[in-house]
Structure 1
Amino acid sequence: MTDSRSSRALQTRIVHAETELKPGFASFATPVMRASTVIFPDLATVRAADWRDDSQWRYGLHATPTSAALAQRIAAIEGGKHALLQPSGLAAISNVYFGIVKSGDDVLIPDNVYSPNRDHGEWLARDFGVSVRYYDPLIGAGIAELIRPNTRLIWIEAPGSVTMEVPDVRAIVEAARARDVVTAIDNTYSAGLAFRPLELGVDISVQALTKYQSGGSDVLMGATITVDHELHLKLKRARMHLGIGVSSDDCSLVLRSLPSMKARFEAHDRTALGLARWLKTRPEIAAVLHPALPDCPGHSLFMRDFTGAGGLFSVIFDERYSPAQIDAFVEALELFAIGWSWGGANSLAMPYDVASMRAASGWTHRGTLVRFYAGLEEEADLRADIERSLAAALA
């Protein structure tokens, strides 16, 4: 048989190149496999493709070997069996809503929830006929009294990423399971390292891989992690219909950072706790909201369920200082940048108007809240930066 390849034009031979690579190459890095089109060996394989089968390759939007490797590792960190990747933490939250909730359903959201989650719930209530109600994050077993026949989903955030209350996850899960209500938790605070919600019976753990998993402040990604296969399929179907996927290049960046995540998390934890303890001694500060400190709401639950806190905590300034003065303090900081996200090497600070964030009562502090994120700088330098800024802005 004549080999027709030798008679093909140069351009065709460039497109259909025959590359011979020697076997045996090995590396610590997961290969970056990019694809929109996935090549099938034959039509029988095409016709047998089933979106429910995670072992099949169908289209680059749904999975590549690189994204599948990251999903498997994220699931393992959380103690789950399945993980789905989304292009941001908020996309992961959206995936939960559209996978679980329909018109006529009821959703319970903690009053200290991540603001975009609150906005998402209110959008569903306004435009999609979903009932959305807010509960005291410290309600614990009392949440059973709020569950209605049509309650389909209970959100948990542990702790609240701004006000830092630590909920009784075990009690909330027990009440939800007794009424066959799905629970979903935003577990970004602990990165799946310091808190294991799936082991406590939570149905869905949501992570913003943008944070500690990435560690570089340069990748947006989210994940939903589950144990139950049928629940995983509900989320997978919703993700497929929403048409959301992740870049293999972004996955490779997160994969590269995972081996150092625990060491970085522990370094952030040490620095943040040191700063929090020091700030409690400052006369400008009325309260320090760090779950590892005894006077933080839910501290006993934190000590029961968590093994660490990471780099995030908040402080309440004395009410004698105006919001404008607190803004001046934040802007005078040199080592703390002003930014929403966290999880990277650089420290951050952001003032919040808590009263505008909450729908229910229970917030008694009157001073302005500033959330700090302790990066990987030396604690002594961060302390000096805060001290200098306090003197400059609040004297």
Structure 2
Amino acid sequence: MQFKDPKNNSFASLSPAVWRASTVLFDNFEDFISRKSRQPDGYSYGITGTPTSRQLETRVAELEGAKHCIITPSGQSALMTATMAFIRGGDHMLISDSCYGALKTFSRKWLSQMGVEVEFYPPTIGKNIEELIRPNTRMICLESPGTVTMEMQDIDAITSVAKIHNVKTMMDNTWASPLFFKPLDHGVDLSIEAATKMFGGHSDLLMGTISLNNFDDYDVLRETQSVLGQAVSPDDIFLVLRGIETFELRLREQSKQTQHIARWLEQQPQIETVMYPALESDPGHQIWKQQYSGAGCLFSFTLKEDSDDAIAAFFNTLEVFPIGASWGGTHSLIAYYPAEQQQARHYSPTSKAIIRVSIGLENADTLIADLQKALNAWQHAL
């Protein structure tokens, strides 16, 4: 038996249909032998998607202000797929030192072994990135703010330079999401989102998106997705489609709570620095204020003293905050990044251990009370 998309059917639903398929069937021999011509938007095999996939890609493209979108199995895979689509041996690639760690590791341990010249640059370089561009520079990778240390990048300045030199730009925009910043409107070529975070919103799936305007680049990306086998579960797609329905409501409330908690934390005597661009004290505040319309739910901070015993006491006292490395869901999370990680970087703004916090939808006073107890435990353990 064959299942076809019903036509002229009066059935309608508020919930999207879930199309599961590994194999796409064809009406005749001619359609089958010319199946590759269906790409990048059509259906030729399950890897490149079903109507369920296209529904989410269309929705994300609308949010991003993009003409095209491709979904991948994770935010990490979106970064790698975009890189593999356009980088070849002999190319030069510029990566912000504050970019997602897996992208830096992939570039350093894999791409560099394939003849790619990988260079890390200071996140706050701005227009001076022009000094690093070579004749073979192919791509500039950005993330603003940085995934742990929260440096803001002057996206407008960097993309202006990149356009002059015909260098492609790719930006991880997960922190702000397209609600608070639209990279394509600021000259970025490829906008990456970890849909795992705010789009999904409930810490129960992995997914990434790549949004763009250039059709030729879209064609290359769809082929790359297919060749690398970057297929996405239609059931997870359904969950992201459902999550997007409440995405703006969640993010606005989480942002409001995050700013309240970050401001409180900044006033505590145990704290050395709170890294959050929405704070006036943050070095990237002016760029954030000029280019962004809101702030994400993630921030970091350092304590006045690094002490293993005191840090352990801090984390082991927490009752409301679970310890976990992800973020963006309805549940708050907290994570730890040792001083050695910052000291190993090229351009870290700190050499101290970092505590990173993701604020969810719990009561803000409850979260503050939990942090207060943990700070007191840290103080007593010194």
Q: Does TM-score exceed 0.5, indicating one fold?
A: yes
CA contact (8 A) 1:85 1:221 kept: yes
Q: Say whether residues 1:142 and 2:128 are aligned partners.
A: yes
Task: Describe how 1:284-323 pairs up with structure 2 within 5 A.
Answer: 284-319=270-305, 321-323=306-308
Q: Provide closer, same or farther for how the CA distance between residues 230 and 257 of structure 1 changes in structure 2, counting only shifts above 3 A.
A: same
**2:311 maps to amino acid:** I
Q: Identify the residue that residue 337 of structure 1 maps to in structure 2.
A: 322
What per-residue deviation string (whole Å, max 9, x for no partner) do you get for residues 294-320 of structure 1? Answer: 12121101001111112100111102x
Q: Say whether residues 1:172 and 2:144 are aligned partners.
A: no
Q: Identify the residue that residue 201 of structure 1 maps to in structure 2.
A: 187
Superposition RMSD in Å: 2.0
Matches of 2:154 and 2:280, distance apart in 1: 16
CA contact (8 A) 1:210 1:222 kept: yes
Matches of 1:312 and 1:194, distance apart in 2: 14
Q: Say whether residues 1:69 and 2:66 are aligned partners.
A: no
CA contact (8 A) 1:311 1:373 kept: yes
CA contact (8 A) 2:71 2:208 kept: yes
Q: Say whether residues 1:382 and 2:337 are aligned partners.
A: no
SS for the counterpart of 2:36 is coil
Matches of 2:289 and 2:156, distance apart in 1: 13
Q: 1:326 aligns with which of 287, 311, 318?
A: 311
Residue 362 of structure 1: how far off its partner (Å): 4.4
CA contact (8 A) 1:154 1:181 kept: yes
SS for the counterpart of 2:174 is coil
- TM-score for both structures, normalised by structure 1: 0.92
Q: Identify the residue that residue 337 of structure 2 maps to in structure 1.
A: 352
What per-residue deviation string (whole Å, max 9, x for no partner) do you get for residues 84-111 of structure 1? Answer: 1110111101101110100111111111
CA contact (8 A) 2:340 2:353 kept: no
Q: Identify the residue that residue 92 of structure 2 maps to in structure 1.
A: 106
**1:96 maps to amino acid:** A
SS for the counterpart of 1:170 is helix
Q: Provide closer, same or farther for how the CA distance between residues 214 and 43 of structure 1 changes in structure 2, counting only shifts above 3 A.
A: same
Matches of 1:182 and 1:379, distance apart in 2: 41
Q: Identify the residue that residue 370 of structure 1 maps to in structure 2.
A: 355
Q: Identify the residue that residue 226 of structure 2 maps to in structure 1.
A: 240
Residue 112 of structure 1: how far off its partner (Å): 1.1
CA contact (8 A) 2:343 2:351 kept: no
Larger of the two Rg values belongs to structure: 1
Task: Describe how 1:40-119 pairs up with structure 2 within 5 A.
Answer: 40-51=26-37, 53-119=39-105
What per-residue deviation string (whole Å, max 9, x for no partner) do you get for residues 299-355 of structure 1? Answer: 101001111112100111102x41331232123211111111111111111111255
CA contact (8 A) 1:111 1:358 kept: no
Matches of 2:235 and 2:69, distance apart in 1: 18
Q: Say whether residues 1:33 and 2:13 are aligned partners.
A: no
CA contact (8 A) 2:22 2:47 kept: yes
Residue 47 of structure 1: how far off its partner (Å): 2.3
Task: Describe how 1:185-196 pairs up with structure 2 within 5 A.
Answer: 185-196=171-182
The percentage of aligned residue pairs carrying the same residue is 37
- TM-score for both structures, normalised by structure 2: 0.95
SS for the counterpart of 2:219 is helix
Matches of 1:209 and 1:115, distance apart in 2: 18
What per-residue deviation string (whole Å, max 9, x for no partner) do you get for residues 38-96 of structure 1? Answer: 12111122123235634422111111000110011111111111111110111101101
Q: Provide closer, same or farther for how the CA distance between residues 51 and 292 of structure 1 changes in structure 2, counting only shifts above 3 A.
A: farther
**1:318 maps to amino acid:** K
Q: 2:168 aligns with which of 172, 182, 191?
A: 182
Matches of 1:241 and 1:358, distance apart in 2: 38
**1:347 maps to amino acid:** S
Q: Say whether residues 1:211 and 2:186 are aligned partners.
A: no
SS for the counterpart of 1:393 is helix
